[in-house]
Amino acid sequence: MARVTTRDRNKNKFYKDGRPKPPNWEYRFPIAPVNGKRQHSSQAGFKTQKEAAEAGTKAMAEYLGTGDAFKPEKISYSDVLDLWLKNHVRANLKEQTLASYLVIIEKHIRPALGHFFITRLRPLDLQNFLHELAKKGYATGYITKAHIILKGSLKYAVEPCQYIKQNPMLYVNTVKGNAERKKEIISKEDFKKIIERFPEGHHFYTPLMIAYHTGLRRGEVLGLTWDNIDFEAKTLTVEKQQQLFNCYTEKQLALGTPKSKASERTIAIGETLLAALKREKLRQKENRLRYGKYYYKYGYREIKSELNEIVENKNGDLDFICVKESGEILTPTALKHLSRVINKQLKIRFEFHALRHTHATMLVESGANVKGVQQRLGHDHVKTTLQLYARTTDSIIQDTISIFEEALK
C-alpha cells in the first residue's frame, strides 16, 4: 500500500566553514506510473520531520481522493456555489446567464441556504425555500430559474466534486409562482407616437426601427456594424451581440457570440428599414467629417474565448450602426433610459424587448409561416416560437373560426 516517506535532505551536509546545514525535510509518495515507469510526488523545505509527514499525508489524501485530509462535511453550500460558478457556469454559459444567476444566488439562495454544510442539505430545506419564493410573490419563471441553479450546483457537488453521493434536488418538486406578466405588444398607433418623440436623426430612432422591423434582441441590435448590412441583397446578418461582461461588478461592455447557433442568422429586411438605414449611414459619414478627430472610434481586445471587450480606439475599425451624433455607441443602459422616457412621458407601457414580441405577433397574425418566424427570430426550436410569441389575440381567434367556416363550405 502506498505510504508517505520522509527524509532530511541536508543530513550530514555542511557549509564550507564546517557548520552543519539546517534540516530540510522532504515528503515523498508514489503516484500513477507514466509509460510503465514509477513516479513520485515530493516537496521539500520543511523544518521538522513532523511538518513534512503531515503535509505529505494531506497531499497524498487529496491525490487519492480518500477524504482523510479533505472532509466534505466541513464544506458549506456557499463554497460549493462558488466552485460551480467558477468552474462550470463561467466556462460554459453566457455572461448574461451568469448575471441572472448571480442575482438569484446573492439575493436569495446564499442568504437562505449558504450556511448549510453540503452533507446536511435536505430535500425538505430546498423544497421549503422554493415555496418561500412563491409566497413572496415571485413569478413561476423566476422560481424555475432558482430550481435550475439549485439542481445544477448540487449535481456538481455529486460529480465531479464527490462531496455528496446523491443530488437532494431529485426529490424536490417544481413550484408555481405568480402568473407571468403578459408580454406587451406595441400597437401601430403607440409605435407612431414613440417615433414622433424620437424622430429620424435622433440616436434612438435607428435601434427602434431595427427592432420593430426585424425582431432582433436588444444585444443583437446594439452589436450590429455596417458590414452586417447588405444593401444590394437587402439582408441583415446577426453574428455578434453587445453585452455586459462581469455584470453587476465591473460592467465592461463587450461583444460576444449570439445566444445560440440558431441566433447566428441572415434575414431579409424590407424597403422601409432599408431606406432608413441608408439615410442613417449617410448621416454618420457627415458627422464623422464634422467631428473629425473627436468622433468616437472603437476596437476590441479579447477578454476570453468568444468574448471581446469594446474599447475606445483612435484606430478602431468597429463601425457600429447604433451610435450618437458623436459616434459614441449606444449601450443597454441607454436603452433602459429610453424605456423610462416612453413610460413616463408618453404613458406607454414599454420595454425594448416588447418590440421583438410585437414583430413576431404581427408576422403570425398576418399568416407568416411559423418556421420562417422561428428562423427570423433565431430560436433553436419552433416550440419556443409558438409558446412565446404566437400569442392568442382577438385577430387570431377570429381567423381560426373563419378558416373552419370556410372549410365547411
pLDDT at 141 over 90: no
pTM score above 0.75: no
Nearest residue to 187 via CA among 53, 349, 330:
349
pLDDT at 31 over 90: no
Span 71-99, pLDDT tens digits: 556 788 998 999 898 888 877 777 778 88
> Where does residue 36 rank: exposed (0-12), middle (13-18), buried (19+ CB within 10 A)?
exposed
Contact 232, 206 (CB under 8 A): no
Contact 339, 346 (CB under 8 A): no
Nearest residue to 312 via CA among 333, 294, 289:
294
Where is average pLDDT lowest: 151-165, 355-369, 382-396? 382-396
Span 243-297, pLDDT tens digits: 877 654 456 788 888 878 888 999 999 999 999 999 999 999 999 999 999 999 9
Contact 110, 78 (CB under 8 A): yes
- Residue whose cell numbers read 494531506: 58
Span 62-72, pLDDT tens digits: 776 654 444 55
pLDDT at 39 over 90: no
* Mean pLDDT for the stretch of residues 340-369: 89
pLDDT at 32 over 80: no
Contact 14, 20 (CB under 8 A): yes
Q: How high does pLDDT run on average in the chain?
A: 85
Contact 298, 309 (CB under 8 A): no
pLDDT at residue 69, rounded to an integer: 47
pLDDT at residue 182, rounded to an integer: 63
pLDDT at 51 over 50: yes
pLDDT at 354 over 70: yes
The three state secondary structure string of the chain is: CCCCEEEECCCCCECCCCCECCCCEEEEEEEEEECCEEEEEEEEEECCHHHHHHHHHHHHHHHHCCCCCCCHHHCEHHHHHHHHHHHHHHHHCCHHHHHHHHHHHHHHHHHHHCCCEHHHCCHHHHHHHHHHHHHCCCEHHHHHHHHHHHHHHHHHHHCCCCCCCCCHHHHCCCCCCECCCCCCCCCHHHHHHHHHHCCECECCHHHHHHHHHHCCCHHHHHCCEHHHEECCCCEEEECCEEEEECCCCCCEEEEECCCCHHHCEEEECCHHHHHHHHHHHHHHHHHHHHHHHHCCCEEEEEEECCEEEEEECCCCCCCECCECCCCCECCHHHHHHHHHHHHHHCCCCCCCCHHHHHHHHHHHHCCCCHHHHHHHHCCCCHHHHHHHCCCCCHHHHHHHHHHHHHHHC
Q: Which residues of 70-79 are buried (b: 16+ CB within 10 A; e: fewer)?
A: eebeebbbbe
